[in-house]
Amino acid sequence: MKSDEHAQGVYEARDDSPNANPGVVTRILNQSRINARFRNDEAAQRELLNHLNRVADTLDSQFRVPGIGLRFGWDSIIGVVPVVGDIAGAGLSLYLVARAIQIGASGEIIRKMLRNLLIEVAGGAVPIVGDAFDLVYKANNRNMRLLTNYLEAKLNPPPEPKRGWKALIVPGLAIALIIGFSWFLMRVT
């Protein structure tokens, strides 16, 4: 009897039970379907890319110091608070990385984005000097340049080189020379 109750509880927790809420597996499958559809939708990718550029600008370069033109954003302001500010800034920057994964960015791009983020977190963790480092390094803007270049290359691949009749000239001449030389040797001997 106890094993039947356990089996019933397991059945109720499964995703395919008639009255169960969508479980983790169903949510993951639905998200992967959304991601697959999203990865093939150029307009949605461009819209998300514009959104991510706005987020990166807000985090790294929303404000400008008059006279010297130094730009800074909320990441630099939040980073002034020791430890908590750096962790919060890293969390906000991870949002860009997570969305890059959703777009379908390559593993190489994701690694470079994480590397930029780690450099900024490590540099920003140094007291006083780290705050100045945050003003200069701007990992979010760097990550968006990486992602933008990747997506532009993916959405607008370079055209295939045209190989028309001109590509046949050299092989054709080589064949003609071989045949002509063979014919000449047959005549001479």
Q: Do 121 and 139 sit in the same domain of this protein?
A: yes
Q: Do 69 and 134 sit in the same domain of this protein?
A: yes
Instruction: List, for residues 72-124, the tens digit of each pLDDT value.
Output: 899 889 888 888 888 898 999 999 999 888 888 889 999 999 999 999 988 88
Q: Do 81 and 91 sit in the same domain of this protein?
A: yes
DSSP 40-81: T-HHHHHHHHHHHHHHHHHHHSSEE-TTT--EE-HHHHHTTS
Q: Which domain holds residue 50?
A: 42-163
pLDDT score, position 38 = 59
How many CB atoms neighbour CB 50 within 10 A? Answer: 11
Using the predicted structure, report yes or no on whether residue 24 has a pLDDT greater than 60. Answer: no
Q: Do 126 and 58 sit in the same domain of this protein?
A: yes
Q: Do 136 and 46 sit in the same domain of this protein?
A: yes
pLDDT score, position 1 = 45
Q: Do 18 and 67 sit in the same domain of this protein?
A: no
